[in-house]
């Protein structure tokens, strides 16, 4: 399954079960959770994304299964060190506004995951996030959360800028993952 199909599948599952998170937000949260806590982040992520949904609803279980699969695929891609990690974003055929919104939502989810992982008991993580290069990456992501399509921009220029942002984020997430490796619990065999 390609990443755009996976985006659509997760978005549909989230919508059906009544979750308020979008697929890009949830994937950003997953990537940050993996960077901060590794496999131990899975239950916390599922609880956050499915918060407010009816536990008795069968569609919630379907959504949880899709989230678990996306979590596993994202974990495997991050462990491969840049070779397979991609952001879960709307299709390239989507409108520029929808794609810019997806990029902003992805960064929101990622930043939320970093902040949630840096609780009071995690002084070492907070210190690492405040240092270089992570502080610059976080500042850049904060800027991207304000991303919007420029109605006056040339489509080709806008497409190039979007592609550059996606590539920057793909590499930045891998850097965050690598920089936080010593703080994460060792992966399960």
Let me know: does 73 contact 2? Beta carbons within 8 Å: no
Let me know: does 68 contact 97? Beta carbons within 8 Å: no
Considering only residues 31 and 121, tell me which one the structure prediction assigns the higher pLDDT: 31
Any residues with CB less than 8 A from the CB of 110 and at least 6 apart, and which? 28, 29, 31, 32, 141, 173
pLDDT in tens, 3-13: 778 999 999 99
CA distance 19 to 54: 9
pLDDT in tens, 69-84: 999 999 999 998 766 7
- In DSSP notation, 56-73 reads T-HHHHHHHHHHHHHHHH
Any residues with CB less than 8 A from the CB of 80 and at least 6 apart, and which? none
The span from the first CA to the last CA of the chain, in angstroms, equals: 26
Q: Which domains does the chain have, with CATH numbers?
A: 3-183 (1.20.120.740)
CA distance 71 to 10: 11
Let me know: does 103 contact 110? Beta carbons within 8 Å: no
Per the prediction, the chain carries an average pLDDT of 89
pLDDT in tens, 110-161: 999 998 875 656 788 888 889 999 999 999 999 999 876 555 566 788 889 8
Tokens of 83: 């070779």
Residue located via tokens 């939502």: 105
CA distance 169 to 27: 13
Tokens of 159: 């497409």
30 closest CA partner among 100, 86, 83, 101:
86
């Amino acid at each position: 399954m390609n990443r755009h199909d996976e985006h659509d599948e997760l978005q549909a599952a989230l919508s059906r079960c009544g979750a308020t998170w979008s697929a890009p937000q949830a994937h950003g949260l997953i990537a940050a959770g993996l960077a901060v806590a590794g496999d131990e982040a899975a239950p916390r992520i599922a609880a956050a994304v499915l918060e407010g949904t009816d536990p008795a609803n069968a569609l919630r279980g379907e959504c949880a299964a899709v989230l678990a699969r996306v979590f596993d695929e994202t974990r495997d891609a991050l462990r491969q060190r840049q070779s397979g990690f991609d952001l879960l974003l709307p299709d390239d055929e989507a409108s520029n506004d929808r794609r810019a919104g997806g990029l902003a939502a992805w960064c929101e989810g990622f930043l939320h995951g970093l902040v949630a992982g840096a609780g009071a008991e995690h002084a070492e993580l907070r210190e690492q996030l405040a240092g270089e290069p992570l502080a610059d990456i976080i500042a850049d992501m904060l800027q991207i959360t304000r991303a919007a399509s420029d109605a006056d921009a040339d489509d080709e220029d806008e497409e190039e800028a979007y592609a550059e942002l996606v590539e920057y984020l793909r590499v930045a997430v891998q850097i965050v993952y690598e920089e936080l490796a010593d703080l994460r619990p060792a992966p399960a065999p």
